[in-house]
Copies of this chain bind each other. A is one copy, B any other.
Amino acid sequence: MGYTVKMVADLAGVSVRTLHHYDAIGILSPQERSPAGYRVYSHADLERLQQVLFFRELGFGLREIKTILSDPSFDRRQALRGHRELLCSRRERIERLIGAVDGTLASLEGGSELSEEAMFEGFDNAEYEEEARRKWGHTAAYKESRERAEAYSQDDWNDIMQQQQTILRDIAGLADRSPDDPDVLDAVRRMHNLINDRFYACPLAMFRGLGDLMVEDPRFTDTFDKLRPGLALFYRQAVHAYCDQVQGQ
């Protein structure tokens, strides 16, 4: 009526070493030992292992799992809700990364020459539109912004492009200031407003993500650095400062 390590390992799909480890850190110590010192797991041990693996799969650390399982008064719902948040943010992050990879792939495959005016070309293509729709397609803000954007004429677009260039040059001129200098923040805010229209009322998180992209994606950094070396990094810092400020309000 007892299981050996190997049996338990095969049943649960973990390694023997893992069970040894769990024993060593006291998260799952078999209640019995054979005369020869062999670990003998009971059915109760198996159940506990199930719980351990469940929480491990959810991404909890072993230390946390130990307290969760040992302290019955522990608020599991609280822990699970907190963990859900964590998972959601991870998912968002991964979606951003996939977007970034797609963008880089597109630029690698589509040839490497990009004119200066095409700086924001990447934001315009179907890929980003698709991603934006996936993420915020269900919101009212998306619909409204979409309609606004569709009403733009070619002249309007050109105008917007010029505004972008102007703002970027403003920021380049302010690159000696602190990233949270009021003038810098104001320029970033103008950029945010502009992108809001094109990007369908993007939330702060996305705007911040775009700021990060500037630093990560050669398409942007190259162009930024033509304006002024190090500008991409500065812009990202400014975007972060701006987001923090807005969020803090």
Chain A interface residues (CB < 8 Å from chain B): 11-13, 43, 46-47, 50-51, 53-54, 57-59, 76-77, 80-81, 83-84, 87-88, 90-91, 94-95, 97-98, 100-102, 104-105, 108-109, 212, 215-218, 221, 225, 229-230, 232-234, 236-237, 240
- CB-defined contacts of A80 to chain B, threshold 8 Å: 101, 104-105, 108
Docked CA distance A57–B93 (Å): 10
**Which residues of chain B come closer than 8 Å to A83, judged between CB atoms?**
101
Which residue of chain B has the shortest Cβ distance to A43 in the bound complex? Answer: B229
Chain B residues whose C-beta falls within 8 Å of the C-beta of A87 in the assembled complex: 94, 97-98, 101
Contacts of A12 in B (CB 8 A): 215, 233
**B54, B77, B232, B237: which contacts A215 (Cβ < 8 A)?**
B54
Q: Is the CB of B94 within 8 A of A216?
A: no
CB–CB B94/A217 < 8 A = no
**Closest chain B CB from A68 CB (angstroms):** 12
With A80-B108, A105-B80, A216-B57: A50-B97 Cβ-Cβ less than 8 Å? no
Query: A77 contacts which of B13, B95, B108, B229 (Cβ < 8 Å)?
Result: B108
Among residues of B, the one whose C-beta sits closest to the C-beta of A91 is B94
Given the complex of chains A and B, what is the CA–CA distance between A96 and B230 in angstroms?
A: 41
